Amino acid sequence: LRGARGRRSAPYSGSSRTRVIAVTSGKGGVGKSTLTANLAVALASRGHRVGLADLDVHGFSIPGLMGLVDATGAMPRPTRIDDMILPPVAHEVKTISIGMFLREGAERQAVAWRGPLLHRTVQQFLADVHFDDIDVLLLDMPPGTGDIAITVGQLLPDADVLVVTTPQPAAAEVAARSGLVARQTGQRVLGVVENMAPMPLPDGTVFDLFGAGGGQAVATALSTPDEQVPLLASIPLSPALRRDGDAGTPAVLADPHDAASLALTALAERI
């Protein structure tokens, strides 16, 4: 993990030395939340102090991926001390989700939120949640180039951005757009992560559900003469990654020798 770049005062309650990495994607379902949860846990298990904030208001899945949802579907209520909100800790990661603030059974409310309310909510969320002294804060962004992406870009212009895509050309096109929006707000595109890449099978053949090449296509589309954007990792399709996510223990912990876990651990060492 590299040191934080020079920052203005942080609009969130973590230390101003905290490095912020926003994980974004062009569309939903490409594995952005799964990768973010695994990265958070991989960084924590390497001794970094890690925060994880789920800003995906329309499809928050971080609490489930981190094992914070009980059998009845309930999530922990974050503890409040005065004006501060203390995030629950899961797998050694301070984890907070916008979903934890919605009334029980009222999750659907958030779907109808419009721009200004989203802006205020995200602003308050980042300001009031007390991450204390952490080295890195990972943000699970909503997919696409909507209001929250722009709000976070304005609030955290020093954040680094990881763009997640599948190898499919159509997914790659929209993913590149989300990287361009991040850059327009002044954020730096750290690199591209390709997920659901071809999976080698025991019989020596390769299962390539989504084809190949999308990750490199996004990296190339986002590169400029001044700034080369690298393809940082290619994470294969992995039943373990899906299963462990559903069970609430990220695969880097539950199945560390799985090919996807190894690729994610290597990615955590690279960023």
**Residue positions in the annotated binding site for ATP?**
26-33
Q: Is 166 in the site for ligand ADP (CB under 6 A)?
A: no
Q: Is 200 in the site for ligand ADP (CB under 6 A)?
A: no
Single residue of 24, 165, 178, 195 touching ligand ADP by CB under 6 A: 195
By CB atoms closer than 10 A (0-12, 13-18, 19+), residue 91 is buried
The separation between CA 17 and the C-alpha centre of its own chain, rounded to angstroms, equals: 19
Nearer to ligand ADP, 49 or 236 (CB): 236
Report in angstroms how near the CB of residue 238 gets to ligand ADP at its nearest.
4
Q: Is 32 in the site for ligand ADP (CB under 6 A)?
A: yes
Q: Is 196 in the site for ligand ADP (CB under 6 A)?
A: yes
**Helix (H, G, I), strand (E, B), or coil: what is residue 217?**
helix
Q: Is 152 in the site for ligand ADP (CB under 6 A)?
A: no
Parallel/antiparallel/unpaired status of strands 136-140 and 79-81: unpaired
Nearer to ligand ADP, 2 or 270 (CB): 270
Q: Is 245 in the site for ligand ADP (CB under 6 A)?
A: yes
Parallel/antiparallel/unpaired status of strands 206-207 and 199-200: antiparallel
**Which positions ≥6 away from 217 have C-beta within 8 Å?**
169, 172, 176
Within 37-66, which residues bind ligand ADP (CB under 6 A)?
59, 61
- Among 90, 92, 95, smallest CA distance to 129 is for 95
| Binding-site ranges for ligand ADP (CB under 6 A) | 25, 28-34, 59, 61, 195-196, 235, 237-238, 241-242, 245, 260
